[in-house]
């Protein structure tokens, strides 16, 4: 059975639980090395590929992820649907720690990253439509899978992508709130845009690890709390993806 679905794991998701018949594959790309070898296996009897965005030991910071190589590698292996799992902060009142969201919009605040496959000499220049940055069909399938698996998710929300690796100031989060952002993360872009250039169906599972600065009651964001919240939210991802595959 041909590969269809690939998952890019973010902070806290360096291996995908439940994969069977696992193999590891280093993929050469025109854009350099991927963050980690691609792990291929079966989930719910279906072939799945998994790639750890930050490397398997979280050695690659958000602004140095080779997004082009990662997305290209999954595409070259035959993936047509890609799910990006992202650890994020919550801004909107209903998007607190341990909530899972399936966002539908992005605002890009990053800088200095390679944002397009057009960024090489001789490449075709593509002006892709990015009005809706996440694929409607894959978003709908994820929402249906969540309902089937009994996983509570928030439908929609605007993901504000920041440069990292530092967390944001209160003033920056206040600006993002005024801009209409509901979530803040560091890896949502340019991953989504690169997937669109390759005509992949792409959607995000956003795992809320903490409140954005100034949005919760905490005077300071605790890394211990962030990772504890991530463990709780990350545990829901295999159930959600399994339900997605079982519905195909």
pTM flag (> 0.85): yes
For the beta carbon of residue 135, count every other beta carbon within 10 angstroms.
19
- Residue set of the binding site for substrate: 186
Superfamily name with CATH number, domain 5-115+131-247? Nucleoside phosphorylase domain (3.40.50.1580)
- Residue set of the binding site: 11, 53-54, 186-187
The encoded tokens of residue 100 equal 């899972």
Q: Which residue from 53, 2, 11 is spatially nearest to 227, judged by alpha carbons?
A: 11
Residue 233's SS3 state is helix
Residue indicated by tokens 């944002």:
115
pLDDT tens-digit map of 51-80: 999 999 899 999 999 999 999 999 999 999
pLDDT tens-digit map of 34-55: 999 999 999 999 999 999 999 9
- Residue set of the binding site for phosphate: 11, 53-54, 187
Domain-wise residue ranges, the chain: 5-115+131-247
């Amino acid at each position: 059975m041909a590969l269809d679905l690939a998952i890019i794991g973010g902070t806290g998701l360096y291996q995908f639980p439940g994969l069977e018949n696992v193999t590891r594959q280093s993929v050469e790309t025109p854009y350099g090395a991927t963050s980690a070898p691609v792990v291929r296996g079966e989930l719910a009897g279906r072939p799945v590929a998994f790639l750890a965005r930050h490397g398997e030991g979280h050695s690659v910071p958000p602004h140095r992820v080779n997004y082009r190589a990662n997305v290209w590698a999954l595409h070259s292996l035959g993936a047509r649907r890609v799910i990006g799992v992202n650890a994020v902060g919550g801004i909107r009142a209903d998007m607190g720690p341990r909530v899972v969201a399936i966002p539908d919009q992005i605002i890009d605040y990053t800088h200095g990253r390679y944002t397009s496959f057009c960024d090489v000499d001789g490449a075709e220049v593509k002006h892709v439509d990015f009005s809706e940055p996440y694929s409607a069909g894959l978003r709908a399938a994820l929402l249906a899978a969540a309902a089937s698996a009994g996983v509570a998710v928030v439908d929609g929300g605007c993901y504000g992508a920041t440069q990292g690796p530092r967390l944001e100031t209160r003033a920056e989060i206040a600006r993002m709130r005024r801009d209409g952002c509901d979530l803040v993360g560091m890896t949502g872009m340019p991953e989504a845009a690169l997937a669109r250039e390759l005509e992949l169906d792409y959607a995000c599972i956003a795992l809320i690890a903490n409140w954005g600065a100034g949005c919760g009651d905490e005077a300071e964001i605790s890394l211990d709390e962030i990772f504890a919240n991530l463990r709780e939210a990350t545990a829901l991802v295999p159930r959600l993806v399994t339900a997605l595959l079982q519905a195909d």
